[in-house]
């Protein structure tokens, strides 16, 4: 099912057009007809410099997509597009500046006209405007359980996790089990309050915190006994298992039923 969903997602113009941009140089250089037209004096083989650039690109993409917490094919592609397009831009300029300039213009236009598709499905997420608003919510509704996602809109890992968190909220939300998000990029004081680094190289974005009885019970990612941050991949299954989301959902559901029974007897 996940594979079919990924294939359906890839049919959207943003993905197939960026795939074409990411493969443009190698495709043109290795296709004889196109290569002879664009590079009449070349032998249609990648030289040592071009091979080095592509090899370096592979290493960067592998490292950056893993740090971004990419767990699906679409996530990997989305995280890697920026690096592959930069590498192609360098290769086109290296081959001929007359090809590099139009390619750069196409990349800029595609970013303006074809933005990355965002999640459009159902969600039950409250967006808190600052840590004070969240604290007030926790203080006045201590009987509720809250899953709070600290994120930054510009962070690749947060972008990848957004649809996962939305789907979880749609599946598990109850009157006493709430899902919320707090943008530490927009409200930087919330990062210091909840001890989360909000820089571009941060490994703490996103961070999920479970609040119960108005206090923090656990979070992911979290430091070990030595203070070293433990890596956490933000897939739906990992979140469910780490927080025992099914168990919390059942417990909250039983509390709701008990509260309704008490009201009926009064």
Taking the C-alpha atoms of residue 121 and residue 106, their distance in angstroms, rounded to an integer, is 30
- 63-89 tens-digit pLDDT: 666 555 555 667 677 778 888 898 899
pLDDT the model gives residue 68: 52
Between residues 6 and 130, the one the model is more confident about: 130
Query: What's this model's pTM, rounded to 2 decimal places?
Result: 0.69
By the 10 Å C-beta count (0-12 exposed, 13-18 middle, 19+ buried), 124 is classed as: middle
Q: Where are the alpha helices (DSSP H) in the chain?
A: 2-10, 13-30, 32-38, 48-67, 73-95, 97-113, 131-140, 156-172, 188-193, 236-243, 245-265
Structural domain boundaries in the chain: 11-113, 125-265
Q: What is the mean pLDDT of residues 82-108?
A: 91
Taking the C-alpha atoms of residue 111 and residue 93, their distance in angstroms, rounded to an integer, is 20
pLDDT the model gives residue 56: 84
Half-sphere CA count of 201, side-chain side, radius 13 A:
1
Q: Going by CATH, does the domain composed of 125-265 fall within 3.40.30.10?
A: yes
pLDDT band at 10 (very low <50, low <70, confident <90, very high): confident
- Name the one residue in this structure whose structure tokens are 């997509």: 65
- Name the one residue in this structure whose structure tokens are 């650039």: 53
pLDDT the model gives residue 117: 74
- 21-47 tens-digit pLDDT: 999 999 999 898 899 888 888 788 888
The H or E element that residue 152 is part of is none
Query: Is the pLDDT confidence value at 104 over 90?
Result: yes
Between residues 175 and 157, the one the model is more confident about: 175
Taking the C-alpha atoms of residue 176 and residue 146, their distance in angstroms, rounded to an integer, is 8
């Amino acid at each position: 099912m996940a594979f079919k969903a990924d294939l359906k997602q890839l049919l959207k113009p943003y993905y197939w057009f960026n795939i074409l941009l990411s493969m443009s140089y190698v495709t043109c250089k290795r296709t004889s007809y196109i290569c002879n037209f664009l590079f009449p004096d070349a032998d249609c083989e990648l030289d040592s410099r071009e091979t080095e650039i592509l090899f370096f690109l592979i290493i960067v993409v592998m490292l950056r997509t893993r740090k971004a917490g990419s767990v699906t094919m679409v996530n990997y592609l989305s995280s890697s597009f920026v690096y592959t397009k930069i590498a192609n831009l360098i290769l086109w300029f290296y081959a001929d500046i007359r090809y590099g300039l139009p390619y750069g213009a196409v990349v800029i236009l595609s970013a303006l006209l074809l933005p990355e598709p965002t999640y459009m499905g159902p969600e039950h997420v409250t967006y808190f405007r600052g840590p004070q608003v969240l604290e007030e919510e926790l203080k006045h509704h201590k009987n509720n359980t809250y899953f709070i996602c600290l994120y930054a809109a510009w962070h690749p890992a947060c972008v990848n996790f957004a649809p996962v968190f939305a789907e979880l909220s749609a599946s598990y939300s109850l009157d006493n089990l709430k899902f919320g998000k707090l943008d530490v990029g927009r409200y930087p004081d919330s990062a210091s309050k909840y001890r989360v680094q909000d820089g571009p190289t941060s490994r703490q974005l996103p961070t999920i915190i479970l609040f119960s009885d108005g206090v923090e019970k656990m979070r992911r990612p979290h430091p070990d006994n030595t203070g070293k941050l433990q890596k956490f991949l933000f897939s739906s299954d990992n979140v469910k298992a780490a927080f025992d989301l099914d168990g919390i959902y059942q417990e909250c559901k039983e509390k709701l039923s008990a509260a309704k029974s008490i009201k009926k007897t009064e």
